[in-house]
Amino acid sequence: MAEYVKLPINVLDDFCMTAFKKLGFKKSECRIITDVLIMSDKFGIESHGMQRLVRYHKGIEKGTIVVGAAPEVVKETSTTAVIDAHDGMGQLAGHKAMQLAIKKAKKSGVGIVSVRNSNHFGIAGYYAKMASDAGLLGMAFTNSEAIMVPTFGKLAMLGSNPIAIAMPAEPYDFFFDASTTVVTRGKLEMYNKMGKPLPEGWALNKDGKASSDAPDVLANIVAKNGGGIMPLGGNTEVLGSHKGYGYGMICEIFSSILSMGMTSNYTMQNGKSGICHGFIAINPANFGDPDAIREHLSTYLRELRESPKAEGAERIYTHGEKEVEATERILREGAPVNVNTLREMVEFANFVGINPKKYFGDAVDKISDSKMFSGNY
């Protein structure tokens, strides 16, 4: 099992703010980048918070991510816009795009913004939540490096292609954020680190056959030899593989197709990211009394939670509950940070010239004890 240390959220926040400032980002930019990353750690989504720092750090070093690039609105109407991120941080383009979608939704009922030439933008849910925090229905999409193998294929042609949606409700917003692959690559890496075989129905080997061999699958993904992760629904039509593949396509349409950006199969090649995003904001007030609509959704969510449980199941969740509970726990107890991730954070600190001990204290000493560095970015 992987070793973890617990670090308070405010420490992670301070660290990110300082580290990105040292990399040359403006304070307002550091705030956005940090907010997106920290939300992931607060939600307990380890794969998209601090664990991603190394990718941003390496991306900036290699020039895939351009510090100081300003996302540019290249086409705009009262309800739509296209933004060229000019290879800047995905969080900055994403934040600007959803802000614009929200503004349009407040004025015209709906705002749809599609972004091209961007980079990894963190969790899609952050942007959907920007809209629900503003009282709107929000959706966010992003393509990514190809990892999903289409039904009956053997080469990854779509990204993990998450679709996120958030909408105001009581006692907490409806909040759904998930990849359209059956799992994300992070899960495969987790099984790999644990030395456990992958569950059936997750991954394909280089010939497009189902495989539970995590090291082999991951090595083939890195080498682009073929194979990858199955769409939600697996690799046969019996369990709906073509549906997960279809949801992946919806994500691609709102991100790379409408923006005329790179489809997933072209991203992250030749020193260029090319990642694309999509954002939708919709004002419930254009459909009726927004308070009544919020109440209507809240009632349904309550009915779902209170509906009869399967034999052996303790509770039924509605989407967003787990994130609220994780946030309460993590704010109280600190965020669990894998020592490998901490090692990367220390390297990042050294790279930008700040003292890691100042932030992480004695936890830094744990690193030398750990031998579980996967080295697999």
Which of positions 249-278 make contact with its own copies (CB under 8 A)? 249-250, 252-253, 256-260, 263, 265
Do 193 and 372 meet the contact criterion of CB atoms below 8 Å apart?
Answer: yes
Burial group, residue 161, by CB count within 10 angstroms (0-12, 13-18, 19+):
buried
Do 81 and 107 meet the contact criterion of CB atoms below 8 Å apart?
Answer: no
Question: Token digits for 15?
Answer: 């660290």
Q: Which is nearer to its own copies, 295 or 365 (CB)?
A: 295
Q: Which of residues 53-82 bind its own copies (CB under 8 A)?
A: 75, 77-80, 82
Q: Which of residues 315-354 bind its own copies (CB under 8 A)?
A: 315-317, 319
Q: Assign 345 to helix, strand or coil.
A: helix
Q: Which is nearer to its own copies, 71 or 244 (CB)?
A: 244
Closest of 55, 22, 89 to residue 352, by C-alpha = 22
Q: Which is nearer to its own copies, 282 or 342 (CB)?
A: 282
Stretch that binds its own copies, among 14-22, 105-113, 324-332, 351-359 (CB under 8 A): 105-113
Q: How far is the CB of 247 from its own copies (least distance, A)?
A: 7
Do 127 and 279 meet the contact criterion of CB atoms below 8 Å apart?
Answer: yes
DSSP-assigned beta bridge partners for residue 111 = 281
Q: How far is the CB of 310 from its own copies (least distance, A)?
A: 3
- C-alpha dist (Å) from residue 223 to 201, 206, 217, 219, 372: 22, 10, 10, 6, 21
How many angstroms separate the first and last alpha carbons of the chain? 20
Task: Verify binding: residue 171, its own copies, rule CB under 8 A.
Answer: no
Do 320 and 176 meet the contact criterion of CB atoms below 8 Å apart?
Answer: yes
Q: Which is nearer to its own copies, 122 or 284 (CB)?
A: 284
Binding test (CB under 8 A) with its own copies, winner from 88, 94, 122, 244? 244
Binding test (CB under 8 A) with its own copies, winner from 176, 191, 348, 360? 176
Q: How far is the CB of 5 from its own copies (least distance, A)?
A: 26
Task: Verify binding: residue 1, its own copies, rule CB under 8 A.
Answer: no
Q: Which of residues 199-238 bind its own copies (CB under 8 A)?
A: 199, 201, 204, 207-209, 226, 232-235, 238
Q: CA 122, CA 119: separation in Å to the nearest integer? A: 9
Residue count at the site for its own copies (CB under 8 A)? Answer: 83
Label the pairing between strands 228-229 and 80-84. unpaired
